Amino acid sequence: MIKNYFKQAWASACHNKVSTCLYLSGVALAVTTVMVLSIVFHTKLSPIYPEYNRNRMAYVPAYGWIKPEAGKGSSGFPWQILEPLFGNLENAEALSIIDVGSSPSNISAEGSFNNQEVTTKWVNDGFFRVYTYDFLAGSPFTAVEISSKAKVAILDRPTAENLFGSVDGAIGKTVIAESIPLIVKGVVREASRLTEESYGNFFMPLSLNAGYGKEADYGNYRPTILLKEGSNMAQLREELLMRYKALTQAHAKVNGIVYDLMDQPKSHYTHSFNPWSYPGYEKKGGSGVVPWQG
C-alpha cells in the first residue's frame, strides 16, 4: 500500500511539474531559513568557544557624554576612569579591557619579509580570564606585564604556524608589529570570526598602545565584566552606581563635560541584539551621571 502511495505521488508530481517545483522550492526555502536563523541565534547566544561564560558576562560598550556646545554622544571609556570605576569590583570575577580602536595590521617574524595581515586586539590580562582561550603553548599576559609595558604577544595557531612553522616553535621568537619587536609568549587555539567580541589572531598588551597612560589620551576602551558565581546584574549595577557617586564627589566637572553609564552594564542577551548605547539624559531614574575630567 505504501508503495502505491509513492507511485501516485510521483505520477502527480510528473503531471503537475510547475506546481511541484513551486511547492518543493517553498519547503526548501522555509527549511533553509529556519536552519540559518537557528545557527545565527546559536552563535549569538549559546556558550561557544572562547565565550563559554556568556551567561555571566556584563557589557559596558560605551559611556555617554554631554557638552552644551557639542550636544550628546557616546564613545569608549578613557583609560583614567577604568580602574576607579571597574577595578576590584566585589561582584566581578574578572575584568576584560579591549581597545576598540584595534584594527587589522601587518606583522612578520623577525628577519623575514613575509608580512601577514592579522586582526589585532590590544587587551589587558583579564581578557584571557573572561574569554577562555585554550593555550596550546605558553601562557596569557600577567598583570605585571601589562603594568610594566612588557613587549610580549600572543598568536593564534594559524598565525603561529604561518610565521614560525609550528606552535611550539613560535614560543620565545620575535615578531614585529607596529614597528615594535615583541616576544611570543603564548599560542591559542583559533576562534571563529562570528565571536566578534573576543576574536583576534594577534594579541598585544593594552599598555603598549601609544596613547595609553597619557593625559591627552581620552581613550577608546571597552570593559567587559565576568560576574562572580552567585552575583547578578542588579547587584553589579548597584555597585557601579555607588562607584559613580564616589567619583562625583571626588571630581569636579570641567569644560562642561558630564559622563554617564546609560543604565549599563548589559547582559549578553541584550548586548547581542543592541551592541550600542546612547546617552539618555532626558530619562528619569537612569544610572546617574558623573562629572569626570579625563
Confidence at residue 288, expressed as pLDDT on a 0 to 100 scale: 46
- The total number of structural domains in the chain stands at 3
**Judgement on whether residues 77 and 16 belong to the same structural domain of the protein:** no
Q: Select from 208, 237, 269 the last residue of a domain.
A: 208
The whole-number pLDDT of residue 165 equals 93
**Structural domain for 193, as ranges:** 101-208
- Higher pLDDT residue, 287 or 233? 233
Pair 134, 202 in one domain: yes
**Model-level pTM greater than 0.85?**
no
Helix axes 79-86, 233-250, angle to 10 degrees: 120
DSSP 8-state class, residue 170: G
Count CB neighbours of 1 within 10 A. 4
135 & 174 share domain: yes
Is the same domain home to 65 and 160? no
Per-residue pLDDT at 281: 42
In whole angstroms, give the CA distance from residue 153 to residue 180.
11
What is the signed CA dihedral for 224, 228, 229, 235, rounded to 10 degrees?
-90
Residues 188 and 111 reside in one and the same domain: yes
Same domain as 241, residue 176: no
- The pLDDT tens digits for 75-116 are 777 787 788 889 999 999 999 999 877 666 889 998 888 889
Mean of pLDDT over the chain: 82
